[in-house]
């Protein structure tokens, strides 16, 4: 049975930098306030009406293919993870296929909507497809354009100062090398607190879960008229987050799911050469590092430069770490993510 190996990585972040000081011109905030709570100093925002989640992904894909030494025509399946797709439907997978100019091969494209843990979920899917022999060369992308859907007023600062735009991609190929490639992946979810990190509006709920008063829903005789209500527009079509609840759960689930993966392959934290956590919050990453007793040189963080790029954060970090020489042949890479849903997961990869 073949193993699934990451053979190439690439990333792309928009040119325009938005520092904390620049964010303070849009809302009541300061560099000190943002840095203390998140560790973020700046983020990138894409060019409105010129760039999309798909075009960001295409840049990252071409770089990943170059790094892997393959052409885009050699890709035989696409997995695309994002929470900020170009359209409500279809998903970005087929749009990326078109953007890359590989529609003639009619390869499959799968879209994953697991937000912050989307890349880890996608890596697990790629692993199973390759181990089953169904595909040999898979493109896995995480890309986000958060800037198109955030509230840049003081009301939305608790969310909008955290997130940035960007894309990361990896090429996953079949290999016959033993003890190489993706060693294990662990995936979990708990929908109990789903609405505490969510973009609820617009949606087909019609107020069903959280009550008519919250959504402004009124019973009518005809179907299909509650996808968007006036109250949704009044409240704002923006994401919301209960930060303390998310933090409290993340610092528990991150170490748990990492230890679960290590136990599954009879390894320990001492065996980890590099941990790349999803870049949700520098304080979370530092807490997890302390729990696992890992030195600074074994943990990769770049949230300071890019903010939280959700599904894109891990592949962007993989690409940067690889370019920096931190992922040499035979090194053990540990990936972990926690986010909306709640969903979380981990992966161990022998490079």
For residue 297, how many other CB atoms are within 10 A of its CB? Answer: 9
Residue spans of the domains in the chain: they are 3-175, 181-194+240-350
Residues classed as catalytic: 116, 278, 308
What is the phi/psi pair of residue 301, to 5°? -130, 135
- DSSP assignment, residue 304? H
pLDDT tens digit sequence for 180-215: 899 999 999 999 998 888 887 777 665 555 544 444
Report the alpha-carbon distance of residue 326 to residue 303 in Å, rounded.
Answer: 17
- Determine the average pLDDT of the residues in 68-73: 98
Q: Enumerate the H helices of 194-300 as residue ranges.
A: 212-215, 230-235, 243-264, 282-292
User: Of all residues in the chain, what percent carry a pLDDT higher than 90?
Assistant: 79
Determine which of 104-113, 148-157, 294-303 has the lowest per-residue pLDDT on average.
148-157
- Give 121's contacts (C-beta < 8 A, 6+ positions apart): 81, 112, 114, 187, 343, 345
β-pairing verdict for 274-277 and 332-339: parallel
β-pairing verdict for 108-112 and 77-81: parallel
- The residue among 61, 127, 75 whose CA lies nearest residue 105 is 75
What is the phi/psi pair of residue 148, to 5°? -75, -10
pLDDT of residue 232: 64
307: left (phi over 0), alpha (psi -120 to 50) or beta: left
Higher pLDDT, 226 or 166: 166
pLDDT tens digit sequence for 223-244: 555 566 666 666 667 788 888 9
> Is 317 within 8 Å of 300 (Cβ atoms)?
yes
Its pTM surpasses 0.85: yes
| Structural fold of domain 181-194+240-350 | Peroxisomal Thiolase; Chain A, domain 1 (3.40.47)
Q: 275: which strand partners?
A: 299, 334
Both tokens of 83, joined, read 């929470």
Report the alpha-carbon distance of residue 272 to residue 347 in Å, rounded.
Answer: 12
Does residue 178 register a pLDDT over 60?
A: yes
Domain 3-175's class?
alpha beta
Q: Are 3-175 and 181-194+240-350 in the same CATH fold?
A: yes
pLDDT of residue 200: 78
> Is 5 within 8 Å of 175 (Cβ atoms)?
yes
Query: What is the pLDDT confidence band of residue 217, given thresholds at 50, 70 and 90?
Result: very low
Report the alpha-carbon distance of residue 66 to residue 96 in Å, rounded.
Answer: 17
Does residue 73 register a pLDDT over 90?
A: yes
Decide: residue 129, CB within 10 A, 0-12 exposed, 13-18 middle, 19+ buried: buried
> Is 58 within 8 Å of 72 (Cβ atoms)?
no
Q: Name the 3-class secondary structure at 271.
A: helix
pLDDT of residue 69: 98
Q: 187: which strand partners?
A: 345
Higher pLDDT, 197 or 222: 197
- DSSP assignment, residue 163? B
pLDDT of residue 57: 98
Both tokens of 115, joined, read 């937000």
Q: What is the mean pLDDT of the chain?
A: 92
């Amino acid at each position: 049975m073949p193993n699934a190996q990451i053979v190439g990585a690439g990333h792309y972040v928009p040119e325009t930098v938005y520092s904390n000081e620049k964010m303070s011109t849009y809302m009541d905030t300061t560099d000190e306030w943002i840095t203390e709570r998140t560790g973020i100093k700046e983020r990138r925002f894409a060019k409105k009406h010129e760039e999309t989640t798909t075009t960001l992904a295409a840049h990252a894909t071409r770089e990943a293919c170059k790094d892997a030494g393959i052409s885009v025509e050699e890709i035989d399946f696409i997995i695309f993870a994002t929470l900020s797709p170009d359209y409500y439907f279809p998903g970005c997978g087929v749009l990326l296929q078109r953007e890359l100019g590989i529609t003639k091969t009619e390869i499959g494209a799968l879209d994953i909507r697991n937000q912050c843990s989307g890349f880890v979920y996608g890596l697990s899917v790629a692993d199973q497809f390759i181990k089953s022999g169904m595909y040999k060369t898979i493109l896995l992308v995480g890309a986000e354009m958060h800037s198109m859907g955030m509230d840049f007023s003081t009301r939305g600062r608790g969310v909008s100062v955290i997130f940035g735009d960007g894309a990361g991609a990896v090429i996953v190929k079949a290999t016959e090398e033993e003890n190489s490639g993706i060693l294990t992946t662990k995936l979990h979810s708990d929908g109990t607190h789903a609405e505490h990190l969510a973009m609820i509006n617009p949606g087909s709920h019609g107020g069903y879960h959280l009550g008519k008063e919250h959504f402004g829903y009124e019973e009518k005789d005809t179907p299909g008229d509650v996808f968007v209500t006036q109250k949704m527009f009044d409240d704002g079509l923006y994401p919301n987050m209960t930060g303390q609840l998310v933090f409290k759960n993340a610092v528990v689930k991150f170490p748990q799911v990492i230890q679960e993966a290590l136990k599954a392959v009879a390894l320990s934290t001492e065996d980890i050469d590099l941990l790349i956590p999803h870049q949700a919050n520098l304080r979370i990453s530092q807490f997890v590092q302390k729990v696992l007793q890992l030195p600074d040189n074994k943990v990769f963080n770049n949230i300071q430069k890019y903010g939280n790029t959700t599904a894109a954060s891990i592949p962007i970090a993989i690409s940067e770490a690889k370019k920096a020489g931190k992922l040499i042949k035979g090194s053990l890479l540990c990936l972990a993510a926690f986010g909306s849903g709640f969903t979380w997961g981990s992966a161990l990869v022998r490079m």
